[in-house]
Amino acid sequence: MSAEQVVLVDDDGNRLGTEAKSTVHHADTPLHLGFSCYVVDSAGRVLLTTRAAGKTFPGVLTNSFCGHPAPDEPLEDAVRRRAADELGLTLTRVHLVLPDFRYRAEMNGIVENELCPVLVALTEDDPQPRSDEVAEIEWVRWTELRDDVLAGRRTVSPWFAEQLAVVGELPDDPLAWPEGDPSLLPAALTMTARSAEQD
């Protein structure tokens, strides 16, 4: 199996090339494509995960999952692939919320540096997390989570905290968050496969 590749981009999101995921994160991580996803269940709870010890930002509480679109992979396909691989989840609905989110963060000398669209997804499954990706999981109501983070009662990943500055102003039900404009995605990304758009 070939090494998983991430897409390197310029400030406008144009593709510059690729690099192996295993080597792309270091003290001077190049800007690349990623995504963040908030998974919600039918009871309206959001899935939180604590990152495994072997990942960047180990032991940090964060949103449901993050990932990297493969070269030429539509964003929705990447989100569904990652949900299945990391958490054993089938997603019944995926929608884009923040198409142009970007962040840079550093921990223990390792930098994350991403154009990182934010999405919300619905599942009916019970998570089956991979131990090399996820140390712990927790379902929590969004309003409780939002208020706890904003009040400093929970410490979360830097990207989650930055995203909250925007999504914290949105409706209390994450599934009611307004759809983001896919035309604002990084130039190297599409939301869905072009063939699907033509059906």
Selection from 2, 7, 63 nearest residue 34 by Cα: 7
The answer on pLDDT for 198 being more than 70 is no
Q: Answer whether 56's CB lies under 8 Å from 110's CB.
A: yes
The answer on pLDDT for 193 being more than 90 is no
Phi, psi (deg, nearest 5) at residue 79? -65, -45
Residue 60's pLDDT is 94
Residue 56's pLDDT is 87
CA 63 to CA 50: how far, in whole Å? 8
Q: Answer whether 165's CB lies under 8 Å from 79's CB.
A: no
The answer on pLDDT for 192 being more than 90 is no
Residue bearing tokens 């070269």: 71
Q: Tens digit of pLDDT for each residue in 46-94?
A: 999 999 999 989 999 999 999 999 999 999 999 999 999 999 999 999 9
Residue 197's pLDDT is 42
Q: Print the SS3 string covering the chain.
A: CCCCEEEEECCCCCEEEEEEHHHHCCCCCCCEECEEEEEECCCCEEEEEEECCCCCCCCCEECCEEECCCCCCCHHHHHHHHHHHHHCCCEEEEEEEECCCEEEEEECCEEEEEECCEEEEEECCCCCCCCCCEEEEEEEEHHHHHHHHHCCCCCCCHHHHHHHHHHCCCCCCHHHCCCCCHHHCCCCCCCCCHHHHHC
pLDDT band (50, 70, 90) for residue 196 = very low
Active-site annotation holder among 114, 116, 133, 162: 114
What pTM was computed for the model?
0.93
Average pLDDT over residues 38-53: 95
CA 34 to CA 79: how far, in whole Å? 10
Q: Give Cα separations from 27 to 24, 61, 86 (angstroms).
A: 10, 22, 25
Active-site annotation holder among 66, 73, 112, 162: 66
Query: What domains are defined for the chain?
Result: 5-178 (3.90.79.10)
The answer on pLDDT for 199 being more than 50 is no
Residue 29's pLDDT is 95
Q: Tens digit of pLDDT for each residue in 111-164?
A: 999 999 999 999 999 999 999 999 999 999 999 999 999 999 999 999 999 999
The answer to whether residue 37 is catalytic is: no
Q: Tens digit of pLDDT for each residue in 160-185?
A: 999 999 999 999 999 999 999 999 99
